[in-house]
């Protein structure tokens, strides 16, 4: 559910007391099915919204909380701002609305709601990877971040080696469907990044987590992205592709694609990057003759090698 629709839905419920899915759909200019899913998402997230069937029915806020959001209890406030926080990262309007909603909360709930909103960020730009389903331990880790509790995780490295680590969790980032945990090891200060899909088990402990007061998830993630991209963008290839296919390449390579020349109505020249010539070639080989790689020679040689291997295998 988009954060801006969530805010609009809550404001409509407060203003009118009760709305139907059809009325909400007309107001937000979405389908009735989407409006119904949004209302159900609010309810499942712990926000006090409930349906009343039959003639004259609709969806209402429990207790008729119509003037502000102070009708939310602590758990409901955390659930709401956990959902709102990630989407607010890329929209000034939503971030402003989020701040106004925070000010409407009772003082005792505000700190936890702010922590929930700051626990997760979304980064829509890919790293040339295909996002999988939401990993099973995202919610556990998020709960640990909000409650400021250390978490013990069973973590598998890329090579398959597993180890148990006691972490102070700092924040979660979903980058184009791939989830990352930013954390420090207990007793250390260096911020490390862990892929959540490699967490095999996670247990929230009773130990308080150390979280620097100056920690800023968005700023720290920018540092991580700059470091990773600096390591992965070691080889850059130039190629020409039909303009209508540009969006597919951009979706795959994300920030590793740059436009070089854009003065042809039919074809466009771009450059793409990866950590080795072989990796670049492997990601481009499936395009066949639809693209023309003009350089460097190392990437062209790798493409020729892949072509020979395929020919020898399937001729």
Tens-digit pLDDT profile for residues 176-188: 678 888 999 888 8
Tokens of 158: 């890329």
Tell me the mean pLDDT in the region 123-132: 54
**What are the E-state strand segments in the chain?**
18-19, 49-52, 58-61, 120-123, 149-156, 162-175, 178-185, 191-195, 199-208, 235-242, 257-261, 267-274, 291-295
DSSP secondary structure of 56-85: T-EEEEGGG--S-STT--HHHHHHHHHHHH
Residue 272 has pLDDT above 60, yes or no: yes
Tokens of 4: 């801006």
How far apart, in Å, do the first and last CA atoms of the chain sit?
A: 50
Query: How high is the pLDDT of residue 31?
Result: 87
Residue 150 has pLDDT above 90, yes or no: yes
Tens-digit pLDDT profile for residues 190-226: 888 898 889 999 999 999 988 887 888 878 888 887 7
Distance, in Å, from the CA atom of 146 to the CA atom of 114, rounded to the nearest integer, reads 9
Domains, the chain, in order of start with CATH, read 3-114 (1.10.10), 138-216 (2.30.30), 233-314 (3.30.70)
Phi and psi at residue 294, to the nearest 5°: -95, -15
Q: Which residues, listed in sequence order, are joined to residue 164 by a DSSP beta bridge? A: 154
Closest Cα to residue 293, out of 310, 267, 270?
270
Closest Cα to residue 146, out of 128, 120, 124?
120
Residue 66 has pLDDT above 50, yes or no: no
Tens-digit pLDDT profile for residues 228-269: 766 665 788 999 999 988 888 888 887 788 898 887 888 999
């Amino acid at each position: 559910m988009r954060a801006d629709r969530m805010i609009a839905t809550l404001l409509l419920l407060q203003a009118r007391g009760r709305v139907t899915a059809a009325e909400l759909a007309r107001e937000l200019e979405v389908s009735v099915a989407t409006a119904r899913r949004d209302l159900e998402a609010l309810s499942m997230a712990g926000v006090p919204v409930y349906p009343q069937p039959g003639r004259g029915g609709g969806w209402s806020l429990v207790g008729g909380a119509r003037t502000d959001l102070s009708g939310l209890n602590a758990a409901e406030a955390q659930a709401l701002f956990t959902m709102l926080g990630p989407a607010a990262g890329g929209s000034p309007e939503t971030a402003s609305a989020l701040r106004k909603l925070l000010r409407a909360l009772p003082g005792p709930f505000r700190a936890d709601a702010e922590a929930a909103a700051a626990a997760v960020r979304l980064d829509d730009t890919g790293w040339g990877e295909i996002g999988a389903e939401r990993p099973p331990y995202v919610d556990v880790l998020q709960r640990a971040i909000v409650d400021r509790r250390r978490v013990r995780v069973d973590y598998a490295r890329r090579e398959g080696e597993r180890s148990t680590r006691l972490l102070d969790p700092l924040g979660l980032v979903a980058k184009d469907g791939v989830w990352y945990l930013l954390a420090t090891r207990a007793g250390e200060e260096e911020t490390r990044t862990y892929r959540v899909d490699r967490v095999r088990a996670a247990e929230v402990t009773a130990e308080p987590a150390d979280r620097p007061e100056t920690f800023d998830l968005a700023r720290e993630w920018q540092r991580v992205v700059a470091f990773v991209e600096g390591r992965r963008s070691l080889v850059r290839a130039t190629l020409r592709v039909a303009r209508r296919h540009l969006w597919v390449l951009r979706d795959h390579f994300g920030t590793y694609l740059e436009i070089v020349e854009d003065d042809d109505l039919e074809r466009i020249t771009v450059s793409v990057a990866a950590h080795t010539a072989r990796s670049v070639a492997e990601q481009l080989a499936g395009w066949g003759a639809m693209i023309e790689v003009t350089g460097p020679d190392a990437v062209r040689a790798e493409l020729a090698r892949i072509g020979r291997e395929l020919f020898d295998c399937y001729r």
